[in-house]
């Protein structure tokens, strides 16, 4: 009889423990690579000391996966890193929870672009011009230099897509960074950008993954390349003498989102609040050269670290903020035109 009672007690106790166990871990989805490694050191491992285990998952930004989970009410992802076009689109489609900023922090402490209805800015990153400092001594300083085959003969690495390349092409053709989207929004501006891009077409080696530009540059496959600044930073930490030319870099933000219907919403908020604190964001910036979104983190960084961030005053001076609305409105048409142009 006593054994029976004891067995029942164990079952009951286990039943009561299940909800607690469900809250003892969260799944955080990221884009992998150097960014994921930096997040692990700055966010995941320290957060786990609060008693909540972080299960990291890598993906390529497939919004369809989030949509399927939400629509079937089988949400297994708790916090998802998304790019700026996806946070807006996902918000409009009802895929993400509306952010309760009282559970995150003071909005005034964050960069304005980091405060979104359905997302919390994680970091500022930039698509820039990169080169191998061991092979190029005469530092390029403009997108006109990127196009200059006489000054820098050889292949160019560029992301396979219209986004970023059309903006760079206009700057190479003399358009000031501040005027890029005004010009590109016209038919004449788009024609001008494609015409300028055509000048380089025979010399372009396309890349589709962020890890490729540093590999191309180190191997000598290309002389100059567009690249994500954090990927160049990671290569530098590995001892590669790659360099960044910051003029006309296009900066953007990634965001934390909470898929609608996650059973671990409270734990998700705790994680986002933790990752948004100045000390933790400063640690992240020390691990990879992406700029903090919490402005209070900047004061905690060494000048040498600041010098490699998109958010440092010198690097941000001639930068272009990625225009989410422009690409939401005209992106589909321009990407189709680009695909046709590449195939010709």
What is the domain-level CATH number for residue 331?
3.40.190.10
Q: Tally Cβ neighbours within 10 Å of residue 48.
A: 12
pLDDT at residue 191 greater than cutoff 70: yes
Query: Is the whole model's pTM more than 0.75, yes or no?
Result: yes
Closest CA to 316 of 252, 227, 247, 253: 247
| Pairing verdict, β 156-159 and 224-228 | parallel
Strands 79-83 and 204-207: unpaired
CB 207 within 8 A of CB 213: yes
Q: What is the pLDDT of residues 207-238, one digit of tens each?
A: 998 899 999 999 999 999 999 998 998 899 89
Residue 113 has pLDDT above 50, yes or no: yes
Average pLDDT over every residue of 236-246: 94
Q: Do 303 and 208 share a structural domain? A: no
Tell whether 330 and 203 lie within a shared domain. yes
Total number of domains in the chain: 2
Distance CA 41, CA 62 (A): 25
Same domain, 193 and 205: yes
217 with 264, same domain: the answer is no
Range of the structural domain that residue 147 is part of: 127-250+323-343
Three-class DSSP category at 299: helix
What does the pLDDT read at residue 16? 42
List the one residue out of 106, 78, 42, 69 whose CA is nearest residue 267. 78
Query: What burial letters (b/e) apply to 76-90, b meaning 16+ CB within 10 Å?
Result: ebbbbbbbbbbbbbb
Do 115 and 135 lie in one domain? The reply is: no
3-class state of residue 321 by DSSP: strand
Same-domain check for residues 195 and 333 = yes
pLDDT at 15: 42
253 φ, ψ to 5°?
A: -125, 150
User: What is the rounded average pLDDT of the residues 99-107?
Assistant: 97
Q: What is the DSSP letter of 163?
A: T
Same domain? For 78 and 116 the reply is yes
Q: Please check whether residues 262 and 246 belong to one and the same domain.
A: no
d(CA 263, CA 275): 20
Which of 5-14, 41-50, 134-143, 276-285 comes out lowest in average pLDDT? Answer: 5-14
SS3 80: strand
> Is residue 180 within 8 Å of residue 170, measured between CB atoms?
yes
Q: Do residues 112 and 195 share a domain?
A: no
225 and 271 inside one domain: no
Are residues 162 and 24 located together in one domain of the fold?
Answer: no
> What tens digit of pLDDT does each residue of 55-77 get?
999 998 889 999 999 999 999 99
pLDDT at 13 (0 to 100) = 43
Same domain, 174 and 140: yes
β-pair partners for 79: 28
Cβ burial, residue 240 (10 Å; 0-12/13-18/19+) = middle
Most confident of 1-10, 20-29, 220-229: 220-229
Q: CB within 8 A of 272, min separation 6: which ones?
A: 79, 103, 104, 120, 256, 258
Matching residue, tokens 């809250």: 23
Q: Is the pLDDT of residue 4 over 70?
A: no
């Amino acid at each position: 009889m006593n054994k029976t009672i004891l067995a029942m007690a164990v079952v009951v106790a286990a039943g009561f423990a299940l909800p607690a166990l469900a809250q003892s871990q969260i799944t955080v989805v990221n884009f992998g690579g150097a960014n994921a490694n930096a997040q692990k050191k700055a966010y995941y491992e320290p957060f786990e000391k609060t008693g909540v285990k972080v299960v990291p998952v890598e993906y390529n930004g497939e919004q369809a996966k989030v949509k399927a989970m939400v629509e079937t009410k089988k949400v297994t992802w708790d916090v998802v890193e998304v790019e700026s076009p996806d946070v807006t689109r996902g918000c409009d489609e009802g895929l993400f929870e509306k952010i309760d900023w009282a559970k995150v922090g003071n909005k005034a402490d964050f960069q304005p672009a980091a405060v979104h209805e359905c997302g919390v800015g994680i970091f500022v990153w930039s698509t820039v011009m990169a080169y191998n400092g061991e092979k190029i001594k005469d530092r390029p300083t403009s997108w006109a230099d990127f196009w200059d085959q006489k000054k820098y003969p050889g292949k160019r690495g560029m992301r396979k897509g219209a986004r970023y390349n059309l903006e760079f092409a206009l700057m190479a053709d003399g358009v000031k960074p501040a005027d890029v989207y005004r010009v590109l929004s016209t038919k004449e501006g788009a024609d001008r950008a494609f015409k300028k891009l055509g000048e380089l077409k025979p010399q372009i080696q396309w890349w589709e993954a962020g890890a490729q530009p540093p590999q191309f540059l180190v191997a000598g496959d290309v002389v100059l390349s567009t690249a994500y600044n954090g990927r160049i930073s990671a290569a530098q930490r590995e001892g590669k003498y790659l360099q960044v030319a910051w003029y006309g870099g296009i900066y953007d933000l990634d965001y934390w989102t909470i898929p609608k219907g996650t059973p671990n919403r409270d734990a998700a908020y705790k994680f986002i609040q933790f990752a948004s604190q100045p000390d933790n964001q400063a640690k992240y910036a020390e691990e990879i050269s992406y700029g903090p979104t919490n402005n209070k983190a900047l004061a905690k960084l060494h000048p040498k670290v600041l010098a490699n961030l998109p958010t440092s005053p010198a690097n941000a001076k001639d930068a272009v903020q990625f225009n989410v609305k422009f690409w939401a409105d005209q992106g589909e048409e321009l990407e189709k035109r680009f695909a046709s142009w590449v195939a010709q």
